[in-house]
Amino acid sequence: MDEKHRCVQLSVNPSRGLMDEKFVILVQHAPPGSELTVHALHQCDDGHGWDAFAHYISDATGRVNVSEDCSLGGTYSGIEPMGLLWSLRPVPGSKPGLRLRKKNVQEPMLVTVSVYEGHRKEGFADLVPLASVLVERWYMAPGVRRIPVTEGGLTATLFLPPGPGPFPAVMDLWGGGGQLVEYRSALLASHGIAALAIDYLTAKNTSQTGINMSATYFETAYKFLQEHPQILGSRIAMMGLSFGTGVTLRMAAYSEVMKLRCAVCISGSHVQPVDKEMGSVKELLCFVSLQMGRLQCPLMLIVGEDDQNWAAEESANDMKEMMERAGNSHLLTVLSYPEAGHLIEPPYTPHVRFSKFKSVGTDFTVMVLWGGQTLAHSRAQEDSWKKMLFFLRVNLFSGARPDGKSLSNL
């Protein structure tokens, strides 16, 4: 290390925060005009390493402020305050097809942010940093409660915000890969909305019978929330991504039991299997379009225009036309993002254009193309999350009626 670089200081503020919370990375006391590389390294729950880096030149006072200064190259360029998170990629030499997903939300995502002398592109493991800071990124805010749910044959996890409640709630569904995915629900609870993460494809009953859940399964989850003492039973929404979108739309349009306050559908379709039950994923060979005129609650559609997995943009256009003909298009909000792909997740989740995927009901793993360009996709994640939270708050906390005709507190 050059003697003049020994006094370099690095800070990240806040060093402990929510996953969707911005931070400020500041380098100080570097020689003026120094070439510096700011680097982020994360080891995910499955043991794989992810990193990102950017090149900067210190100003006349020896400072680099990542929130204000321009990256000259690396895994991102330009002024990108959160670029070291959203541009994380598998470290060189990793096996192909990885995707970063938080499995244990009760522990933080740990990211080591370091600053190195010179403009480096590789070999970070063999270099000695000028300074390093360990950053904690949480999906669960302090006070959020995680409660496993097995009542009524459910396989689910309830996340309750801090405080006594009662709280409005969201039923949270992911896609065709199955499993109990909790991190979005945990983050929703961190913003004051209770969330029930539901495993509906690999749940206990499904694995034992080989038949996926019927509408009754989701109505059981709805009734569980309705009857919970810390949930506002008349203020329940439903959210789905990918295959979960079809389930959400079907329940919102056809269930006689579920009276949803609103629904959010991400990167999915209104096209459904023709059978009356949900069916097996591998049996989705014959499809029919849902009658969107039946929908009576506000609906937000979030789509990426470079989605290579589902025809989400085309589906959104079809739904808009159907609802216009039916006279309920006032209930519809569409967020459509150019160059965004299929996996639109919470802010600063690293973008992957493709990854390995094993669909429920199959015995093999395939490489799936999700689409999206990293910068545009990351912008879409940040923007859609902010607007989705606003949509949920308007419809769950205000005086909105289930038919969307009255929105106070706007």
How far apart CA 230 and CA 208 sit, in angstroms, is 32
Q: Which residue among 71, 242, 315, 359 is the active-site one?
A: 242
Q: CATH for 9-138, among 2.40.30.10, 2.60.40.2240, 3.30.70.141, 3.30.479.30? A: 2.60.40.2240
The pLDDT tens digits for 42-82 are: 999 889 999 999 999 999 999 999 999 999 999 999 999 99
Instruction: Please state the φ and ψ torsions of residue 105, each to the nearest 5 degrees.
Output: -80, -5
**Which range is least confidently modeled, 59-73, 285-299, 336-350, 365-379?**
285-299
Domains 9-138 and 145-397 belong to one CATH topology: no
Q: Which residues pair with 202 in a beta bridge?
A: none
- pLDDT for 288: 57
290 vs 376, which has greater pLDDT?
Answer: 376
Q: What is the topology classification, in CATH, of domain 145-397?
A: Rossmann fold (3.40.50)
To the query of whether residue 342 is one of the catalytic residues in this protein, the response is: yes
| Stretch 216-242: mean pLDDT | 96
The ranges assigned to domains in the chain are 9-138, 145-397
Quote the Cα angle for 373-182-165, to 5°: 120
From the list 5, 39, 270, 342, the catalytic residue is 342
| Structure token pair of residue 241 | 């991504």
Helix (H) or strand (E) run with residue 273 in it = strand 271-273
List pLDDT tens digits, range 136-156: 999 999 999 999 999 999 999
**What letters, b where the CB count within 10 A reaches 16 and e where it falls short, cover 196-220?**
bbbbbbebeebeeeeebbebebbbb
> Largest Cα–Cα distance of the chain, in whole Å?
73
Please name the residue ranges forming H helices in 147-214.
Answer: 183-190, 204-209
307 is catalytic: yes
Catalytic one among 20, 51, 172, 307?
A: 307
Q: Is 242 a catalytic residue?
A: yes
pLDDT at 304 over 90: yes
Give the model confidence (pLDDT) of 153-208 as tens digits.
Answer: 999 999 999 999 899 999 999 987 778 999 999 999 999 999 999 998 876 655 55
